[in-house]
Amino acid sequence: MNQTAQNNSNSPAGGLITRPFLVAVALLGAAVVLAGPVADWLDIQREKLPLPLRAPLGSLSESALAPYRVVKRHIIDPAIVKVLGTNQYLSWTLEDTEVTETDPLRYVELLVTYDTGGHNLVPHTPDVCRLGAGYQPAQPHENTQVNLTRLPGTRDVVPVRLCTFGKTDVFQREQVSVVYTFFCNGEFRETRNGVRILINDLTNVYSFFSKVEISFPRATRTQCLDGAAKLMDRVLPALLSNHWPDFNKAESDARRSTRRDGS
């Protein structure tokens, strides 16, 4: 071995610069150079574009909710709005005029939120938010579904998540159940992970999700699920028809525009 080779082998750099190391560096460099063109070829969208509502949530038609009527429209505290990450919401107390005054399903809390754009949106759920308000799970959370009759198209089943929480203080013990579902990129999902999968679909141009959350302050867990199905059969068709964007059409138009611009 000559002196130069011996010096190279004894130096720190000489031990690192091996054939596998050089191959790895070459592959990494090629990946950096090709990342953009390959992403374009695969039609990968790294950043999602916002898709606005067709009409503000607050303009939801009360007549479409019959037999429910709006008792109160709530303004959410700005600090909570900041945590939610969106100022597009509807928070109403409703009254079901078809049932008696003493029926536990007479009064219901409806919360609808909308978020769009970005690439790693984090949906807020009662599973987490209620814990911050001092509640604890009273029963295991359950993923289930409700059967609806008024949804447009072929949809008749919507996945939902049912949660029951309890809170105990010095004077009383409170228990409340919440039912919610997400409408994300044109599909219903009942979990935040389901929403994340749709949001992070690399082939989509747009992304959005809307959460519909329903609770009955005086109802049992079973009653809450039944009541939520009835209310969703009014709320969801109205949102689909007049408020939520047509995701499939937006995606189709975007791809058609891209092909036309690239021709």
Q: Say whether both 23 and 99 belong to one domain.
A: no
**Tell me: the pLDDT tens digits for 86-116?**
899 999 999 999 999 999 999 999 999 999 9
Whether residue 258 lies inside any domain: the answer is: no
Instruction: Please report whether residue 27 resides in a domain.
Output: yes
Q: CB under 8 Å to 122, separation ≥6 — which residues? A: 85, 192, 196
Distance CA 144, CA 11 (A): 64
| 84 and 212 inside one domain | yes
**What's the maximum distance between 2 C-alpha atoms anywhere in the chain?**
100
The verdict on residue 262 lying in a domain is no
Whether 261 is covered by a domain: the verdict is no
Are 87 and 164 in the same domain? yes
pTM for the full predicted model: 0.79
Q: Are residues 37 and 64 in the same domain?
A: no
Cα separation, 155 vs 152, in Å, equals: 7
Per-residue pLDDT of the chain (263 residues; tens, 9 = 90+): 555 444 544 544 455 566 655 555 555 554 444 344 443 433 445 578 999 999 999 999 999 999 999 999 999 999 888 888 889 999 999 999 999 999 999 999 999 999 998 655 667 788 777 776 667 777 899 999 999 999 988 789 999 999 998 877 656 667 889 999 999 999 999 999 999 999 989 899 999 999 999 999 899 999 999 999 999 999 999 999 999 999 999 999 988 876 666 54
Asked if residues 155 and 162 have their Cβ atoms less than 8 Å apart, the reply is no
H helix runs in the chain, sequence order: 3-10, 12-16, 19-41, 78-84, 126-132, 192-199, 221-242, 247-262
CA distance 254 to 141: 39
Enclosing domain of residue 101: 57-253
Domain match, 125 and 70 both: yes
Residue 47 placed within a domain: no
- Are residues 26 and 112 part of one domain? no
User: What is the domain count for the chain?
Assistant: 2
> Is 143 among the domain residues?
yes
In a domain, 259, yes or no: no
